[in-house]
Amino acid sequence: MNPLYRHSGNTLHALLLVLGLALSMPSLSRATDIVLNENCPPGFELDAGQCRLRTLYQMYASLEDAGVGGLKTGLPPHRDGFTPQQIDLGRYLFFDPVLSVDGTVSCASCHDPDRGFADGRGRSVGVGGEPVRRSAPSLWNVAFLQRFFWDARAGSLEEQMQGPLYDEHEMATSPEQLVRTLNGIPLYRELFRQAWPQDFQADGAQIQLNQVYAAIAAFQLSLISLNSRYDQYAHGYADALTEPEKEGMNIFRSFVARCAECHTPPLFTNQQVAVIGTPDPEGMPFDPGAAVPLNEPTLRGGFKVPSLRNIALTAPYMHSGRFATLREAAAFYTGGRGHAVPPGEDLKIHWHIWEPKLSDEELDRLVDFLQTLTDESFKPVEPPELPSGIQPVHNAIAREGTTPDNGVSNHE
């Protein structure tokens, strides 16, 4: 049976969608000679069969709850230790829309490498074409993160990915359908055998859910961005930044602006949940944020502090895409403590948020500095063909529409 039919589920609607895809795509038998990479991604070293991250920041001491620290400060603990084959298998799965209920959405649809592993939307869009509640955060440097989702409700990437995979508004598949689909594709069974040879020694061995989760996580953990111009400056190359950018860095780290107290270098997040009182786009109901999953009323309206790495690539900004540009997002913080809190809401604004009263020139310098955090030198290569035989879809989906001033795409 054609594996596309296998993954279509029992509904007539899904079957018709898949039939349409099958008619419009090349034969599913074309991708027959894929061999998983035996080399680690850039920035990783093969050590006893596992890929281990290597970075100059490992030469420095960590913050250890000591405050902001200087430029030569170590990163928080990270997660690695997957084989090259497991990472490469995750790359194929990440870009393959066969993981969704109807073959129209892949992980890369909301996490496009060309958009900083976000999607350029104020609110992401799933299989039904309707916007979901929040924007897609970037995946760069997730190896260092302890909590996931804007509301910090997941404690691992494996837990996190089950949200979009099975949510009816996102990829809308089910655990049963996912393993049935992948086991129905001979090439995927072969690639999983390459990634987990010890688990496929017996005849009839099947792909397991935990292997799917582990492979996708392995790929995401390889997305490392630590060689921006800021990093070159931090490691001692003084000419890596211009004078305006250095001014912006000093403002960023100052006790007046206090940006670095939440967006702590070198990861540029302290990984905490903060209530900052950012407004939702007009017409959207108030989002209670982390207060719901964490069952903590004082975190009403609170969201996880995002890393600012590659922030210039991931507009629009905030959990709902409220601000279209970095300049607008920076200006929000100088508007005064709680100035945008909706009427009737008594939010416990984070104590770092106050009234810095930055000038227009200082805001411009801040933006100059934030643009120095861009680094795509280790951006992975997108697969030229996928084991399912389906064409990648993320380029078309992620680039539909435009982003107006309110941060919400014109078709949302």
Stretch (H or E) spanning 47: strand 44-47
4 pLDDT more than 50: no
| Single-letter amino acid code for the residue at 370 | L
Residue 195 has what pLDDT? 98
**pLDDT (tens digit, 9 = 90+) per residue, 306-335?**
999 999 999 999 999 999 999 999 999 998
Equal fold, 3-224+377-398 vs 229-373: yes
> Position of tokens 């609110």?
123
User: In the structure, what pLDDT confidence band is assigned to residue 62 with cuts at 50, 70 and 90?
Assistant: confident
270-285 pLDDT tens trace: 999 999 999 888 889 9
- Rounded Cα distance between 193 and 178, Å, is 17
Q: What is the pLDDT of residues 231-272, one digit of tens each?
A: 999 999 999 999 999 999 999 999 999 999 999 999 999 999
Mean pLDDT along residues 111-136: 94
Q: Residue 125, SS3? A: strand
pLDDT over 70 (residue 355): yes
pLDDT at 63: 78
Q: Which of 3-7, 21-25, 243-247 has the lowest mean pLDDT?
A: 3-7
pLDDT of residue 401: 38
**pLDDT tens by residue, 25-38:** 333 444 568 999 99
Q: Does residue 55 carry a pLDDT above 60?
A: yes
The residues, any chain, with a CB within 8 Å of residue 251's CB and separated by 6 or more, are 257, 259, 358, 362, 365, 366, 369
Q: Could you count the other beta carbons within 10 Å of the beta carbon of residue 366?
A: 25
The pLDDT, as a whole number, for residue 221 is 98
Residue of 128, 123, 122, 95 whose CA lies nearest to 109:
95
Per the structure block, which two tokens stand in for 72? 């030569």
CATH 1.10.760.10 corresponds to the domain 229-373: yes
Q: How high is the pLDDT of residue 67?
A: 77
Residue 109 is predicted with a pLDDT of 96
* β-strand pairing of 50-53 with 44-47: antiparallel
Question: What pLDDT is stored for residue 396 in this prediction?
Answer: 65
- The helix or strand, by DSSP H or E, that contains position 46, with its residue range, turns out to be strand 44-47
pLDDT at 171 over 70: yes
**Mean pLDDT of the chain, nearest integer:** 89
pLDDT range class, residue 16, cuts 50, 70, 90: very low
The DSSP-derived string for 88-110 is: HHHHHHHH-GGGSSSSS--HHHH
Q: Terminal CA-to-CA distance of the chain, rounded, Å?
A: 37
- What integer pLDDT is reported at residue 32 of this predicted model? 63
Predicted local distance difference test score (pLDDT) of residue 14: 38
* Domain edges within the chain: 3-224+377-398, 229-373
Neighbours of 395 (CB within 10 A): 14
What is the tens place of the pLDDT at every residue in 72-105?
999 999 999 999 999 999 999 999 999 999 999 9
CATH topology assigned to domain 3-224+377-398: Cytochrome Bc1 Complex; Chain D, domain 2 (1.10.760)
Q: What is the tens place of the pLDDT at every residue in 192-235? A: 999 999 999 998 999 999 999 999 999 999 999 999 999 999 99
